[in-house]
Amino acid sequence: MPRGDLFPDIAPYETGLLPLSPPSDGVRDSSPADAPGGTRHLMYWEQVGNPRGQPVLFLHGGPGAGAGAVHRRFFDPHHWRAVIFDQRGAGRSRPLGELRENSTAHLVEDIETLRRFLGIERWLLFGGSWGSTLALAYAQAHPERVVGCVLRGVFLGRQSEVEWFLYGLRRVFPDAWAGFAEHVPPEERHDLLGAYLRRLCDPDPAVHLPAARAWSNYEGLCSTLMPSPELVASFAQDRSALGLARIEAHYFANALFLPPEKTDGTGPGGLLGGMERIAHIPAEIVQGRYDMVCPPVSAFELLDAWPSARLTVVPDAGHSALEPGVRTALVAAVERFRRRG
Q: What is the 3-state secondary structure (H, E, C) of 310-322?
A: EEEEECCCCCCCC
> Which regions of the chain does DSSP assign to beta strands (E)?
14-19, 42-49, 54-59, 80-85, 123-128, 146-152, 283-288, 309-314
Distance between CA atoms of 56 and 218, rounded to whole angstroms? 31
129 is catalytic: yes
Q: Which helix (H) or strand (E) holds 326?
A: helix 324-340
SS3 91: coil
Q: Which of 223, 291, 298, 320 is catalytic?
A: 291
In 173-318, which ranges are E strands? 283-288, 309-314
The answer to whether residues 129 and 155 touch, using CB atoms and an 8 Å cutoff, is yes
First-to-last C-alpha distance (Å) of the chain: 17
Task: Spell 197-228 as b/e; 16+ CB within 10 A means b.
Answer: bbbbeeeeeeebbebbbbbbbbbbbbbbbeeb
Active-site residue identified among 129, 223, 228, 240: 129
291 is catalytic: yes
**Which residue of the set 71, 183, 250, 319 is catalytic?**
319
Q: CA-CA distance, 313 to 288, in Å (whole number)? A: 6
Which residues does the annotation mark as catalytic?
Answer: 129, 291, 319
